[in-house]
């Protein structure tokens, strides 16, 4: 990405979150065997040129030709309309270029969204979970991690010395708890042996 993240970048993210969630959690006409490929090609495909990774080829192809969206029909008419209209605001097809030429801004999206919420009836209890097959490094379930130790927590809260960092990187094993009598006895033996 070149330059700072803009509000329009956030608007585009909102569009793709809506599309992604619609594909995974609502009823539509995409066969399961095709859904994994659409998710991979649209959201995950990238290319490397030297040390630089380029992504978004699927998003660009969809914006220019509706390559991914044109044949998808969501059962929710409201979701279908929202995704289609916001996509048209973002990158109008040729027949809507004049109508939406300056529509990709916060004011247009706000007017559309406000009117949309007031005039549409949304379905309820219509969640459908489409479970994708694992196909890449981001698809495997996350590895559980242990809660941070007190030392790790302190590292996040204040600047620490290099020796403190080393202690966290290679913590000393904890000794098993001992009864108070054992500790007293060992101390007494140590004093007697001096």
Specify the higher pLDDT residue, 70 or 158: 70
Q: Enter the tokens of residue 91.
A: 């990158």
167, containing H or E segment? helix 162-169
Q: What is the pLDDT of residues 116-127, one digit of tens each?
A: 999 998 888 889
- Choose among 57, 58, 66: nearest CA to 84: 66
Point out which residues pair with 52 in neighbouring strands: 49
Instruction: Among 28-42, 71-85, 99-113, 179-193, name the one with the lowest average pLDDT.
Output: 179-193
- Token output for 164: 């403190």
**Res. 193 pLDDT band, cuts 50 70 90:** low
Residue of higher predicted confidence among 144 and 107: 107
- Distance, in Å, from the CA atom of 26 to the CA atom of 122, rounded to the nearest integer, reads 12
- Please write down the long-range contacts of 38-43, taking CB distance under 8 Å and 24 or more positions apart: 38/68, 39/132, 40/135, 40/136, 41/68, 42/68, 43/16
Cβ distance 74 to 28 under 8 Å? yes
pLDDT value for 177: 41
Q: Is the pLDDT of residue 25 over 50?
A: yes
53, 97 Cβ separation under 8 angstroms = no
């Amino acid at each position: 990405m070149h330059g700072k993240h803009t509000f329009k970048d956030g608007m585009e993210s909102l569009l793709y979150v809506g599309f992604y969630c619609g594909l995974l959690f609502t009823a539509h006409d995409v066969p399961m065997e095709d859904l994994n490929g659409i998710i991979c090609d649209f959201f995950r495909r990238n290319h490397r040129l030297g040390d630089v990774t380029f992504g978004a080829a699927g998003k660009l192809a969809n914006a220019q030709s509706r390559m991914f969206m044109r044949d998808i029909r969501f059962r929710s008419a409201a979701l279908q309309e929202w995704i289609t209209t916001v996509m048209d605001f973002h990158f109008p097809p040729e027949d809507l270029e004049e109508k939406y030429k300056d529509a990709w801004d916060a004011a247009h999206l706000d007017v559309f969204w406000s009117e949309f919420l007031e005039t549409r009836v949304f379905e309820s209890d219509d969640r459908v979970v489409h479970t994708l097959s694992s196909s890449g490094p981001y698809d495997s379930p996350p590895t559980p991690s242990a809660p941070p130790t007190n030392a790790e927590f302190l590292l996040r809260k204040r600047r620490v010395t290099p020796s403190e960092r080393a202690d966290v990187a290679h913590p000393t094993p904890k000794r098993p708890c001992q009864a108070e009598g054992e500790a007293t006895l060992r101390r007494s033996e140590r004093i007697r042996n001096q």
